[in-house]
Amino acid sequence: MNHPDEPTQALPTPFADEPSDEATAVLAVEQPAPGPSPLVWIASAVLVLALMAGVAWFAVTTSRQNRENAMRGAAVGYLQAVADGDAAGALAQLAEQPASTTLLTDEVLAKAHEATPITDVQAGELGGTETAPTVGVSYLLGGEPVSTTITLTEQGGSWKVADGTADLTVPERRALTVNGVELTEEVNPVFPGTYTAAPVSDLVALTGEPTAVVSTPAQLESVLDLTVGLSQLGTDTVFGAVKGRFDECLAATESRPANCPFGVDTTGVEVAEGSVKFAQVNDPWAGFAPTLDPETMLATGTFPFEVNATATVSRDGLTTEATAPMKGERTYTVDLTKQPATVTWS
């Protein structure tokens, strides 16, 4: 019990002006930490969006660059295969295989590039449309600069050349070769290069321009417009065969020598054996002009002749020396596929 005269003592309280250490700790735990400023959140969001946009831009740019590189690579790869004489490699780059590959071989390419090799193949700008893109290319063909475009198409996830061959037309393809190959078709697909026709035999001559230069796959149709005929050696060979056979006929002693353009009718008379003699009257060689069938290699022409035949003949017990003039025109045919050439008459 307190007495009124005794002084009182204040009890300690946690709510005093100077809190105790324990109270301070409690307050520190219970008070929330201040949050980030709204500006910080906005800046962070902008940074994330910028990073995402950068990643997307890089991905799109890289994808486009890869696409363009693949397209250029397809165009250059095709032309480089042609330049290397690798026909199979060039054909593998085509979206569609040509119907005829007669002139699309390594051997043909080798001859094509003997005169005009393809070098320094370069790819340039891309163009065309989304469905039919093109690649500008340049190269040297026999040292001469060539620029063109290669059209591409996407096939199976890779780029292929849409039309990598030009057409070479050879209307007269008999008795000749092109870059060493005999042709079966009038129109033949070809790679860029030089194509030269040559006769199959030295008995044959080609009239016209025998060489065509195909500069680009996009080149319009090239034509080897040639005429096939006998060479001077061929004409001389035919002349020798015909004249040789005719001379043999003139030397015959029978009235109807075999395989000759003339003969004597001996109906009603008896001809003394070995008495027949033939003598040439005209000169049949002045207009000698045989023509050639390139497919069969048969040379033909007309042969005018005037020949007198004399013989010892007997009739009704009378014997006399008789002369019979013969005149006419015959067709000769010389087979140049045989050695020596053979002659027949009609």
Q: So what's the pLDDT on residue 220?
A: 85
287 and 215 belong to one structural domain: no
Domain co-membership, 75 together with 215: yes
pLDDT score recorded for residue 39? 67
Looking at the fold, whether 210 and 91 belong to one and the same domain comes out as: yes
In a domain, 32, yes or no: no
Is 37 inside a domain boundary? no
pLDDT of residue 289: 95
In-domain check, residue 262: yes
What domain range is 101 assigned to? Answer: 68-229
- The domain tally of the chain equals 2
pLDDT of residue 337: 95
Residues 105 and 142 in one domain: yes
The per-residue pLDDT for 58 is 47
Examine the fold and report which residue of 213, 229, 245 is the final residue of a domain before the chain moves on: 229
- CATH code, domain with 196: 3.10.450.540
Cα gap 210→91, rounded to integer Å = 26
85 and 208 fall within a common domain: yes
Q: Are residues 201 and 336 in the same domain?
A: no
At residue 157, the pLDDT reads 87
Q: Are residues 205 and 88 in the same domain?
A: yes
218 and 318 together in one domain = no
Asked whether residue 295 is assigned to any structural domain, the reply reads: yes
Mean pLDDT, the chain cut into blocks of 10 residues (346 residues total): 45 45 47 62 61 50 81 96 97 95 97 95 94 95 97 93 95 96 96 97 96 94 95 97 96 94 91 94 92 96 94 92 93 96 94
Query: How confident is the model at residue 54, as a pLDDT?
Result: 52
